[in-house]
Amino acid sequence: MAQRDSHGLTERGRYWQELIDQCRRSGMTQKAFCREHDLNLGTFAWWKRHLRRRQSLARAIKATGVENIAVRLPTFAPVRIRPESPLDTHGQIDILLPGERRIRLSGPVDRQRLTDVLAVLEGEAC
């Protein structure tokens, strides 16, 4: 587990907080600052938002007067994607006819196939 300072920041969090402070003091835009320091602008913006939320949360906790409260920021849960299960191709339709006759359609039975079978049974041309 990463070591945290008195503000609850890890070494990585302190690193990004220092960069954000440098950017603010420089008077440069984030884009120019990131370009000059060879930083990814999206990563810089993410850390800026993340650290601002942490600070807001810390202020809110302090305002309540509650000490030693354990707060966990939301994290992502690992996700494993499983392949889709194969389609069921073993469908079956049984049609019972007078005189104990039966017609069984097996496999994938679509609407057109069923319509064709019913048309034949009713004596219509296909």
Helix boundaries (H) for 3-93 = 11-26, 30-36, 41-64
Average pLDDT for residues 87-96, to the nearest whole number?
67
Is a pLDDT exceeding 80 seen at residue 54? yes
Domains delineated in the chain: 11-64 (1.10.10), 92-121 (no CATH)
- pLDDT for the residue numbered 126: 42
Of 70 and 52, the structure prediction assigns the larger pLDDT to 52
Using CA atoms, how far residue 119 sits from 101, 109, 123, in Å, is: 17, 15, 6
- pLDDT reading at 124 higher than 50: no
pLDDT of residue 92: 74
Q: What is the mean pLDDT of residues 101-121?
A: 76
- What pLDDT, in 10s, does the model give residues 2-39? 566 555 678 888 899 999 999 999 999 999 999 999 99
pTM here is 0.48
Residue 75 backbone zone (phi > 0: left; psi -120 to 50: alpha; other: beta):
beta
- Identify which has the larger pLDDT, 83 or 21: 21
pLDDT at 125: 42
- Residue 106 three-state SS: strand
Diameter of the chain measured on Cα atoms: 93
